[in-house]
């Protein structure tokens, strides 16, 4: 079952983010994910979200997503994103409708 990493954040250090993006994309290559959404101006239609940036990355499975996230290669560049943004990330499973 596919799994999705969803990032909601706001950039407060553009320089660190410019360093992070190419390095992070390089770490993704061996895992063959699909970046489904990369939106700098998400529109909040319910609630009070303070982060305008949304990224959704599809992985083949929850295990694949966590293997990438915990990989030494990504852990090396992760501090750049954490220093460059405020926000949060969640890992969610694909919705599979119940059989009728």
Q: Is residue 77 part of a domain?
A: no
- Average pLDDT on 15-23 reads 96
How does pLDDT run across 57-71, given as a tens digit for each residue? 999 999 999 999 999
DSSP 20-82: HHHHHHHHHGGG--EEEEEESSPPP-SS-----EEEEEEESSHHHHHHHHHSHHHHHHHHHHH
Give me the pLDDT at residue 82, please. Answer: 97
| pLDDT-derived band at 29, boundaries 50, 70, 90 | very high
Residue 78 pLDDT: 98
Q: Given a cut of 90, is residue 2 above it in pLDDT?
A: yes
pTM of the model: 0.90
The confidence score (pLDDT) of residue 98 equals 92
Domains in the chain, number: 1
85 C-beta neighbours (distance < 10 Å), count: 21
Asked whether residue 19 is assigned to any structural domain, the reply reads: yes
Convert 20-38 to b/e letters by CB count within 10 Å (16 or more is b).
beeebeebbeebebeeeee
Q: What is the pLDDT of residues 35-53, one digit of tens each?
A: 999 999 999 899 888 889 9
* 42 vs 19: CA distance, rounded Å: 23
C-beta atoms surrounding 94 within 10 Å: 12
Percent of the chain past pLDDT 70, that is, above it, reads 100
Structural domain including 26 reads 14-51+87-95
Domain-embedded: residue 27: yes
């Amino acid at each position: 079952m596919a799994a999705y990493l969803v990032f909601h954040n706001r950039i407060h250090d553009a320089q660190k983010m410019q360093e992070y993006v190419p390095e992070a994309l390089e770490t993704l290559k061996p895992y063959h994910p699909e970046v489904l959404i990369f939106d700098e101006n998400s529109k909040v239609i319910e609630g009070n979200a303070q982060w305008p940036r949304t990224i959704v990355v599809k992985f083949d499975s929850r295990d694949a997503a966590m293997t990438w996230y915990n990989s030494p290669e990504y852990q090396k560049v992760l501090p750049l994103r954490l220093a460059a943004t405020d926000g949060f990330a969640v890992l969610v499973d694909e919705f599979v409708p119940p059989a009728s």
